Amino acid sequence: MPEHSALRRGHVVKLGGSLLGAPRLPELLRALARHASPTLLVTGGGPFADAVRDLQPTLRLSDPACHRMAILAMEQTALAFADLAPGLVPVDSLEAIAEAGAAKRVAIWRPARLALEASELPQSWELTSDSLAAWIAGESGAERLTLVKSAPPAPGSGPNQWAEAGLVDPLFPRYAARVPGPVEVMTLDDALSHFTKGSLAA
């Protein structure tokens, strides 16, 4: 599968780990699973990644070790979300992303295989699941990136301002610049409304 073609004309949707436990999360996942256009879901690490952060000072773990553990935390969240919406297809390669899109199925990314093999990704807490979502959007050729978060951004702001405000990690603007189309942040309720109405397929 040629690089940058797996999700051509597609959409990456990042679901923040802070959404775990939100009452409407299963509803959003079911709406996403019915989405018609090529779509890849990326999850945050949520409480699994928080556990890694808490353990690091206690066990004196290195940043590279925590980087790998946090990516595995994202993998756990992806499996949990896929269980909540069985229509989602877990994928771990560009080939699998392309196959899901060709079958008109919405994919959910299991990041360990690709992210842990990517030597260009910094192995530190500066790189979070937001940047990984932007990175896989670039790698797969997606044309749009939406971050679904518990808090909305300031009106009129963009990736640089989001990073300055701490809404995304400091590396996010670099990776988001590789996405040729819109890069946006939505709340869960706004995303649910858009996906239910199908307006994000436009």
pLDDT tens-digit series, residues 117-170: 999 999 999 999 999 999 999 999 999 999 999 889 999 999 999 999 999 999
Name the average pLDDT for the chain.
Answer: 91
- Is 182:159 a contact under the CB 8 Å cutoff? no
Predicted confidence at residue 21, as pLDDT, reads 85
User: What is the Cα–Cα distance from 14 to 132, expressed in whole angstroms?
Assistant: 9
The pLDDT-based confidence of 197 (bands split at 50, 70, 90) is confident
DSSP 35-85: --S-EEEEE--HHHHHHHHHHHHHHT--HHHHHHHHHHHHHHHHHHHHHHS
Three-state secondary structure call for residue 158? coil
Q: Which domains are present in the chain?
A: 11-201 (3.40.1160.10)
Q: 3-state DSSP: the chain helix, strand, coil percent, rounded to 5?
A: 50, 15, 35
